[in-house]
Structure 1
């Protein structure tokens, strides 16, 4: 993103466009929840055809059959319907962007949103048609990325982007933005590792699985440490739009670690080193009840929320950094054009 594109933000952004993007953000997170339930219940093949649902148009499938049918059919068809609604909202975002948004780079960012929705739908459909677990894993990784891009577009179309404060109680250097960017990278890497565990290939060796689990655990605590360090850098900056998301991230990562422990227990039982657990009950694959499925799915959805909040914080810090550098450059320009004082006049007279 160039400075020229950022400097064109003096024109007011459209509230309608921002509200449409916020609507997309509010729809995508439940979509990730339902998609997580589909994987948890292994309901991805509950509807064996695509783009139809048992030969009917997606929107014309009898709602009585959908609502009163098996739960796996309910969540799979519901996932498709909610995804279609997100696609329609994405079309509306593109129309609004080209109709009323003056910044060209924001317009093309909205187009990227629509392309990502289409790609995600195609991935989901190919997973059903081909029955491929690898496509299911890619589909699970691509959804959070789309969620993060939606959040980024929501930030650049918000009031904060166009008329936030440039005067801070405490100056921030480049380091907080670097920290926030590392949070985005780490949280997305964690999501990919989690997708590899949820869609583990039948031919995978036990050592490969154990390596992914160990890496996933170590990176979780590294993410928590960097989150706490970022909060320590931002808590006294005087800008609540930066310090509050960083404090929320600490709680979200802590919750995610707890949900990760719960997910392991739900899937594999208590570890055998715990003295109160009978050896016959340790590391058993167990059938999931409703509460168990909610724990596992909450772990998936909270990971996407961590990525989204990290992205919001990172984009805000980039904007904050740009404003700060612009203010410094403006101050330097004014100081170099200071008025002539008496000493200057005396010096000029002396030379003549």
Structure 2
């Protein structure tokens, strides 16, 4: 088979002894547990069920894991959501501990070990913030708890990317597996993969995209956790900025995708293309969330301020719509982080390649 006839989709990626399958699978599991946890946490806030269990870390005096399952499953829905949120958070914590242990036993890169520790620390802090919110009954801590969850999600995505086979796809192939790494995927001779050339400003554009996305999440958290002392004018300004940034975010995503498409690497451009769709869906969910909360405003408008708005109680379908808006925002940040880490990897490899050619 000549180089020209190689099918990139069937091409085996070069793998080094650092691409440990156990570590990567645990990293994927951590990511897969974090987003459902954000979903359930969003449902807790949507139903205002954060104080359904008044004590912490126990549940009505019981150890978290010994609380009667029939009372949990057959009890009030807000109790089911809040206690389930705690159990899922504990499962994420145990999985993060397993990731740290696996990384420190088999991962040769110290900075990757540090990332796994950072993920575990972030999960612990996030759980502590949720506990403080319950103990103090403070809506401010509820807002902080909701604002830091996407950061934890983004960190788990970083851990998944840096432990993946893709991370080493441009590395020199090894024909023999490392006997000291039983969980390392061996590599058969594969053709070299040419480094893609990033368009100018790709890293800066995606970095700005991430910052804008997180600012959107903070504004959304402020709107969800309204303070009793908050003013109508403050709400108006926050809601207006939130709407304006939504369309700015969509524009940034389109610009980022247009830059990534020029590099010719589908592993970079396809996530950018997915972001366009996610942000579009998020805008529609935002409109639906507004309607669910306040009904249709005058002029079918985006801005609060007209007379007669009433916050309506939400049924299950409405609650899912509102929570979907929250969870999709975190997903957009996570996918943006996924793209950002990958283009940083490609940029650094390009810089190292250029430096090597200059030195030779």
Is the TM-score greater than 0.5?
A: yes
Separation in 2, partners of 1:173, 1:252: 23
Separation in 2, partners of 1:61, 1:93: 27
The corresponding residue for 2:278 is 252
Separation in 2, partners of 1:300, 1:78: 18
The corresponding residue for 1:22 is 28
Shift of 1:173: 4.2
Using a 3 Å threshold, how does the CA distance of structure 1 residues 191 and 216 change in structure 2: closer, same or farther? same
Match of 1:107 among 97, 103, 113: 113
Shift of 1:281: 9.5
- Compute the TM-score of the two structures, normalised by the length of structure 1: 0.88
Match of 1:143 among 139, 146, 149: 149
Match of 1:241 among 264, 267, 274: 267
The corresponding residue for 1:80 is 86
2:319 aligned with 1:326, yes or no? no
Shift of 1:15: 1.2
The corresponding residue for 1:94 is 100
The corresponding residue for 1:36 is 42
The corresponding residue for 1:189 is 215
Separation in 2, partners of 1:143, 1:23: 17
Bigger Rg, which one = 1
Q: How does 1:1-352 map to 2 (within 5 A)?
A: 11-164=17-170, 167-168=194-195, 171-274=197-300, 283-334=309-360
Shift of 1:272: 2.0
Is this contact kept in 2: 1:270–1:282, CA < 8 A?
A: no
Q: 2:298 aligns to what SS in structure 1?
A: coil
Separation in 1, partners of 2:17, 2:202: 28
Separation in 2, partners of 1:326, 1:282: 62
Q: 1:255 aligns to what SS in structure 2?
A: helix
Is this contact kept in 1: 2:34–2:153, CA < 8 A?
A: yes
- Compute the TM-score of the two structures, normalised by the length of structure 2: 0.86
Is this contact kept in 2: 1:197–1:209, CA < 8 A?
A: yes
Is this contact kept in 2: 1:269–1:282, CA < 8 A?
A: no
Aligned-residue Cα RMSD (Å) equals 1.7
Query: Residues 11-45 of structure 1: CA distance to partner in whole angstroms, max 9, x if unpaired?
Result: 42311111101000000000000000000000000
Separation in 1, partners of 2:212, 2:51: 31
Shift of 1:97: 1.2
| Structure 1 portions without partners, runs of 5+ | 1-8, 335-352
Separation in 2, partners of 1:226, 1:281: 35
Query: Residues 49-86 of structure 1: CA distance to partner in whole angstroms, max 9, x if unpaired?
Result: 11111111111111111111111011100000000000
**What is the count of residue pairs matched by the alignment?**
321
Is this contact kept in 2: 1:176–1:234, CA < 8 A?
A: yes
